[in-house]
Amino acid sequence: MDSIKIVEILNKILKPDQIKINEPMKYHTSFRIGGPCDIMVLPEDEEDVLEVIKICAQNSIPFFIMGNGTNLLVKDGGIRGVVIKLAQNFSEAVVDKDVIRCKAGLPLSNLSKLALENSLKGLEFAGGIPGTVGGAVVMNAGAYDGQMAEIVESVKVMEQDGDIYEIKNKELGYSYRTSVLQNSGKIVLEALIKLEPGSYGEIKSRMEKYSVLRRQKQPLNLPSAGSVFKRPPGNFAGALIEKAGLKGYKIGGAMVSEKHAGFIVNTGGATARDVIELIEYIQQEVQRKFDVLLEPEIKIIGEDELE
């Protein structure tokens, strides 16, 4: 890929501060891990997204859409092509009675606070979930018996040919930590969130309760990507990992959290290779001891570092 040529084209449609070259992905993931992407762009509106995708298509360049990188492990060799980051530049939200229309880059925690400010209940579970609305909608993020599938009314998406339309909840195929949007190539632009009027005090109380539980149970003091594995039927990944004696087990700078075995934390200087090797070792040990194959919940992308 001729990065210089592509940047010249992008400069005609974007501001200079919307384009980053050879950007280390460790600055854009909650794991604080990841090699450089060739080019990163920060769109401000749908037109920006459409124009960047057109440029990629015309020049046969792969692109990857991301939010805040909270459920993401980028390999040490980084990402070839263009990374389109829908985050702080793409985070407007409008409240209309009991409905919130929000852009994909809005942090889920901000959406939860906005619901509280308007005394709308249904989003209390999301207060401490890192990541953006777009990612949460795609993977059906959830916690404490709440999930996005229960509150998403519709999602506005863009196809890779630029076609934009809305998909209703019943067509999203929601199930545990997944939807039809995953690996579909569709780009989530906006979500329409339907909530219910509630008591400000009760909503705030529930949010505070969940916040205390998170601080008690999760390793919030070290970089991680949240729960590494999906919950296996009839069990909990963290419980199986702990029973396998893997709490505190370490490969390089990556360690199974001593606070919650469902988390892998970066203790300092961890590489993606460290994390991947640890994931594979956990899977191997849990399957050997309990005949359960744990399925990763985090998304792993990019290229291995050349030896």
Single-letter amino acid code for the residue at 78:
G
Q: What is the mean pLDDT of the chain?
A: 95
Token pair in block for residue 50: 């459409």
Closest by Cα among 263, 212, 216, 232 to 71: 263
Backbone angles phi, psi at 146, to 5 degrees: -115, 150
Task: Indicate the pairing of strand 79-85 with strand 63-66.
Answer: parallel
pLDDT of 128 above 90:
no
The answer to whether residue 177 is catalytic is: yes
Q: Which residue has the tokens 């909608």?
A: 137
Question: What is the chain's Cα-based Rg?
Answer: 20
Domains by residue range for the chain, with CATH: 3-88 (3.30.43.10), 92-202 (3.30.465.10), 219-301 (3.90.78.10)
Closest by Cα among 217, 221, 205 to 267: 221
- At 68-106, the pLDDT tens digits run 999 999 999 999 999 999 988 899 999 999 999 999 999
Q: Exactly one of 51, 227, 231, 257 is catalytic; which is it?
A: 227
The answer to whether residue 297 is catalytic is: yes
Distance from the first to the final alpha carbon of the chain: 21
Cα 154 to chain centroid distance, Å, stands at 19
Beta bridge partners of residue 39, listed in sequence order: 21, 82
| CA separation for the pair 52, 58 (Å, rounded) | 10
Q: Exactly one of 177, 190, 231, 257 is catalytic; which is it?
A: 177
- At 187-240, the pLDDT tens digits run 999 999 999 999 999 999 999 999 999 999 999 999 999 999 999 999 999 999
